[in-house]
Amino acid sequence: MTSEPSSVMDEKDERIRLLEYQLDYLRAELLHLTHERDRMTYSASWHIFKPLRKLEARLVEAASGLWRRNEPQRMIAAGDSGPIASISPRRLASPPARLLVDVTGVIKRDAGTGIQRVVKKVVAALYSGEDYEIPAVAVRGVAGRLFSAHAYAAALAGVGPPAPDHEIEIGPGDRFFMLSDSWNAFEELAPLFARIRAEGGEVISCIFDLIPELHPHVCHEVTVPLYDAWLQRALVESDGFLAISRTVAEELADFVKKRGLPHRPGLKIGWFHCGCDMTPAGDAEISRRIRDAAAGATPAFLCVSTIEPRKGQRVALRAFELLWRDGLDAKLILVGRRGWLDEAVVAELENHPENGRRLFWFDNAGDADLAFLYDHTRALVLPSFAEGFGLPIVEAAWRGRPVLCSDIPVFREVGGEGAIYFRVNDAVELSRRVKDFLLGKIAGDPTKVLRASWSDAAHRITEVIAGDDWSDRLP
């Protein structure tokens, strides 16, 4: 009997650790919700609202049934070669004429997360007045029609007055780039695809990560089926995919190949890197609570992430609890909106004995607040176990702050030789790294972290599309 190579065993061990972490996270969430249920059961308000819970359950069941009935009509089942054969003939692609950058999703719903940040920063760069490899026009879909979004884009770029918005006529060679979260607007945009190809144009989708496919248990329950349906449809409808990192581009290519997923013949896959430049903080704009959290001689560490399972806030908290137990004085400042499966983490943060002393959480910090915190903390801590890029890494480095982050492939791509890495989901090792950092035994080098600007990101996007410079092409 032959033994497995050590690399395979290591990979299995890490996979088991990841699953154990997720199980522990979900167990804490379940216990918290159970306690909340018991508390509500014995309260007067529970008896008032109890009948509404049954109504809510019926509505959720009805919505799920509607999704299941409609899903086969919208999505293309894996392994079914029928849709590929039925793809309508198209003209040979013409040279790129314009880049129509879709911002439909972010205009309809700006949740203030990393995805919307990428969309707004790229569009602002494209409208900054700088010359790019292909003229870009921000657009939005409305009931199968396409309109310019000049006013929205000009406001993002801080330029004006903008050209009046008007309906867009698809022209020869137009590239339609779905930069925004197109899974929230795909059906609205789908009628445009045939018209674009009829004019020798191409449809390109931006992909931010594959987390709903690779780590479905850490996502919101609505996200996984929505994302899965979008991906299968987008693989057939798109001529190309642009990922926000080389790691995600490679993951997508491997995922499609290994699963044998139907896709448009000759599907092109490329990547660009997000920018790191931020608007300078203005003193008058910073909230007093944030100033107070960063004040004083106690070294502060910043953690920037939405509160959700994969982001690792509990890992950071456990690491700093170890430091506090050992008598090391340091602050942990968390910035991020609430996400999902977050009840237990939020309750722990709010009720922690160090809350307001050496532990702080801000769920509504603006750009100026965030820039201020980057400037007034010792380092960034990023303990995520799954990401598409890791925007806080480059933002912190841009402002001269060292980074301590999980040792995952995409963080290696972004952090390079400049970041300090620790074993993923390992609070003990993170605490040691923080201690060694404060004692001067280890040091990060922000100058060696990826330092692309948003202008660089926009140039990369237009270069790939205008120059047909893709990193992979699937048969």
Interacting residues of 74 by C-beta distance below 8 A, sequence separation 6+: 187, 229, 233
Looking at per-residue pLDDT, the higher value among 335 and 75 belongs to 335
CA-CA-CA-CA torsion sign (11, 14, 16, 19)? negative
14: confidence class by pLDDT, cuts 50, 70, 90: confident
Helix (H) / strand (E) containing 15:
helix 6-41
pLDDT above 90 covers a percentage of the chain that reads 68
| Residue 27: predicted pLDDT | 63
In DSSP terms, which residues pair with 202 in a beta bridge?
A: 175
Residue 423 has pLDDT above 70, yes or no: yes
Residue 70 has pLDDT above 50, yes or no: no
- The architecture that CATH gives domain 283-451 is 3-Layer(aba) Sandwich (3.40)
Q: Which of 461, 424, 474, 473 is nearest to 11 (CA)?
A: 424
Cβ-based neighbour number of residue 362 at 10 Å: 19
pTM given for the model: 0.84
pLDDT score recorded for residue 324: 98
Strand partners, 177: 101, 204
Residue 388 per-residue DSSP state: S
Which tokens belong to 14?
């890490």
- Spatial distance between the Cα atoms of 137 and 311, rounded to a whole number of angstroms: 34
Neighbours of 86 (CB within 10 A): 8
| pLDDT exceeds 60 at position 181 | yes
Backbone angles phi, psi at 304, to 5 degrees: -115, 110
169 burial level (CB within 10 Å; 0-12, 13-18, 19+): exposed
In this predicted structure, the answer to whether residue 81 has a pLDDT above a threshold of 60 is no
Model confidence at 58, in pLDDT bands (50, 70, 90)? Answer: low
On whether the CB atoms of residues 183 and 174 are closer than 8 A, the answer is: no
Instruction: Render pLDDT for 283-311 as a digit per residue (tens, 0 to 9).
Output: 558 889 999 999 999 999 999 999 999 99
313-325 and 427-438 helices, crossing angle to 10°: 60
Helix (H, G, I), strand (E, B) or coil at 159: coil
Q: Which amino acid is at 125?
A: A
Beta-bridge partners for 404: 381, 420
Nearest to 355 by CA among 415, 294, 295, 293: 293
The whole-angstrom distance between residue 231's C-alpha and the CA centroid of its chain comes to: 16
Categorize the per-residue pLDDT at 8 as very low, low, confident or very high, splitting at 50, 70 and 90: low
Token pair 């020798």 is found at 200
- CATH code of domain 92-275+455-473: 3.40.50.2000
In this prediction, residue 298 carries a pLDDT of 97
Query: If DSSP codes are grouped into helix, strand and coil, which group holds residue 270?
Result: strand
Q: Does 192 have pLDDT greater than 60?
A: yes
pLDDT at 1: 42
- Do 92-275+455-473 and 283-451 come out as alike in CATH topology? yes
Mean pLDDT, residues 264-268 taken together: 97
Residue 302 near residue 359, CB atoms below 8 Å = no
> Measured between alpha carbons, how far is 214 from 288 in angstroms, rounded to an integer?
41
Per-residue burial over 302-328, b if 16 or more Cβ lie within 10 Å, else e, is bbbbbbbbbbbbbbbbbbbbbbbeeee
Contact (Cβ atoms closer than 8 angstroms) between residue 93 and residue 196 = no
Q: What is the DSSP letter of 370?
A: H
pLDDT of residue 29: 72
Q: Is residue 77 pLDDT above 80, yes or no? A: no
Which pLDDT does position 150 carry in this prediction? 94
pLDDT band at 184 (very low <50, low <70, confident <90, very high): confident
- Judge whether residue 424 has pLDDT over 80: yes
What residue spans define the domains of the chain? Answer: 92-275+455-473, 283-451
Query: What pLDDT digit, counting tens, does each position of 138-172 carry?
Result: 999 988 899 999 999 999 999 887 778 999 999 99
**pLDDT digit string, tens, across residues 319-360:** 999 999 999 999 999 999 999 999 999 999 999 999 999 999
- Largest distance between two CA atoms of the chain: 74
pLDDT bin (cut points 50, 70, 90) of residue 76 is: very low
The DSSP string of 102-129 is E-HHHHH----SHHHHHHHHHHHHHTSS
Q: How far apart are CA 362 and CA 382, in angstroms?
A: 16
Query: What is the distance between the terminal CA atoms of the chain, rounded to a whole angstrom?
Result: 38
pLDDT value for 187? 82
- For the cut 50, the answer to whether the pLDDT of residue 67 exceeds it is no
Torsion of the alpha carbons at 382, 387, 392 and 394, rounded to the nearest 10: 110
DSSP string, 135-146: -EEEEEEETTEE
Pairwise pLDDT comparison (328 vs 180), residue with the higher score: 328
